[in-house]
Chains A and B, each alone.
Chain A
Amino acid sequence: MDCPETVGKLTEILRQGGYLADRGLATALFVALSLQRPILLEGEVGVGKTEVAKVLATVFGRKLIRLQCYEGIDASQALYEWDYARQMLHIRALSEHQIADTDAVDKLFGPKFLLERPLLEAVRAGDQAVLLIDEVDRADDEFEAFLLEVLSDFQISIPEIGTIKAATPPLVVLTSNRTRELHDALKRRCLYHWIGFPPAEREVEIVLVRAPGVSEALTRKVVTAVNRLRELDLAKPPGVAETIDWVRTLDFLGETGLSVQVAEDTLGAVVKERDDLDVVRDNLEEITSGA
């Protein structure tokens, strides 16, 4: 599917895919799509950074290729790897006469023995793919440096085969939780958007879209309570994902309101830090009031 013509149309398409993007995010994605630039999304935990990529892949009918970053990730896990075990077996199986043949060696480093990793897969798929580079801040700076080449030219050089280049680049979404500052060079190559917590009204809408079937009255109560939680001085304020979890939990238990007792029993869905639990328990009365 082609890039939509206006920001409004993109917002509508995303909404059909079950994602409510505000004007800022929609504009950022629209620009990323039309300029074919990678987009870096930062924001609080659980505001739907990863979800954007998934929904984009679904609504545009593209393949989602996900690269989860972690410390020590390197070229052989992100780009490509030769299947060495098979190569060695293959070498053993060749007779001395065959191995002298140059073709045999060429075959050894041919597609048959090449293991595709996410980045190579994405470059090959081109605009048929959405590449999600998740939590790029978890990888170390060595990896970032090498990501630069892929993100600016969308090409990968494999010495034995040659350079593979994407005719049209895939849509690249990077996410970061800001556990460390990303390098400027990487940011320069990306568009940047910060996703904050949505306003209460919108959050209710989001919950109703993501968890169809739950009652609107219950959702409103939970959103009010969660917004009060965010005002408390918590180490980890609950994100939208936590709100959805909480509503689902309450719905599953057949609750229709949010009393102090019910809230305390289900607090594990929203507050996931021991120190925070103490703070929240002390203020539970106030948080659930009016709900």
Chain B
Amino acid sequence: MPEHAPFVGVLADFAAELRSAGLAVGSGDVLTYCAAMTPLDPTDLLDLYWAGRTTLVTRREGIGVYDEVFRRFFLGAGDPVRELLKIKAQVTAETQAVLQVPATDDGGEGHPEEAVLGLMASDAETLRHKSFTSCTPGELAALRRIMARIRLTPPRRRTRRTAAARSGRALDLRRMARESLRMQGEPAELFWRRRKVRLRPLILILDVSGSMADYSRNLLQFAYSAKRAAARVEVFCFGTRLTRVTRALDHRRPDDALEDAAKAVFDWEGGTRIGESLDAFVRDWGRRGLCRGGIVVICSDGLDRGDPAVLAAAMERLSRLSYRVVWMNPHKGDDANFRPSTLGMMVAAPHVDLLLSGHDLSSLEELAALLPTMS
């Protein structure tokens, strides 16, 4: 349909605009959008809006971005002259051959810092018990590399799914029917199915407020390693408000991932509102089943500026929604007889199943060792 071509160009431009605004819009989606507009009226703004929203946006968070770009693209450019220019420019661009040279990827060499993996055993040993706050940047880099090797294995649970097994509770009728067919219809042997086991989800909630900043950067690194090691890990950060950083940590290169995660969090080194943040977690994520049957690890010193009653209520609901709650408090240090002194910690303590320190590498290793036994 050649008479539609300039219009398709506008739609494609719009999609490109969305893409640069951060929405994941593939060419397939643009095709669907154009196809969707065929039975609709392209001059009707409402049709244009809704058809685009239903074909190009795939999650609720994207709707805001879409609205903004739509407004800018179709409504902001309200004057017809600019619209015409846009169409004209598109047509001329199509007639010219464009040579595109793909940008070369420097991925082959890798990041210099990551390439240097030599870590001396003796260094590693002394670093292991050094508190994160007293480490030099070089030492921290070394620690990060060791951390990347810690494998986190959450405990397992039995699922509703079954798999063939040597023994079990239910007969594998499918297999028996097949086998008996081979044996001239004689069910000679019994085959069984048994329920599968699966790793429980792991949810890390990290305090990035001022009092915790030195630890949190390392904990974020730890979260990144954990996310790469275990299958289902969700990571949240909070200071005065809660931010989900799980998606930001989805990078292959740790530095990119940490940078993205840091950008996603607005309130680095600000105040602390543990109660409100945990309440937000329970409300927005916990209730929807994110931590159901999972292990929740909270890293915070418990210095709460908010109302302790809110924290107590949030912790109670969190402990009911999840399978186990672990609290890592760096101020606990190596002190075995540590008693929580901050109000927040005292309020939260009754709902915590395990209290660890998390102030140095060995305590993180302790967590890694304890996790599989928490069933």
Contacts and interface: CB of A to CB of B under 8 A. Distances in A.
Interface of A: 5, 7, 23-24, 27-28, 30-32, 34-35, 37, 39, 42, 70-72, 74, 76, 82, 84-85, 87-88, 91-92, 94, 96, 99, 105, 108, 140, 142, 177-181, 184, 187-188, 190-194, 235-236, 275
Interface residues of B, number: 40
Contact of A194 (B55, B60, B287): B60
Nearest to B183: A91
B375 interface: no
Contacts of A190: 58
Nearest to A273: B287
Contact of B54 (A28, A91, A140): A28
B30 to A, nearest CB: 13
B51 A31 contact: yes
B177 A84 contact: yes
Interface string B226-243: 000000000000000000
A235 B287 contact: yes
A105 B181 contact: yes
B345 to A, nearest CB: 23
Contact of B177 (A5, A34, A76, A82): A82
B350 to A, nearest CB: 18
A75 to B, nearest CB: 11
B371 to A, nearest CB: 21
Given A31-B51, A91-B177, A92-B185, 6 more contacts: A31-B40, A34-B39, A87-B177, A94-B185, A181-B59, A188-B28
B169 interface: no
B178 to A, nearest CB: 9
Interface in B159-174: 159-161, 173-174
Nearest to A181: B59
Given A84-B177, A88-B187, A187-B59, A7 B40 contact: yes
A178 B54 contact: no
A136 to B, nearest CB: 13
A14 B249 CA distance: 44
B185 A99 contact: yes
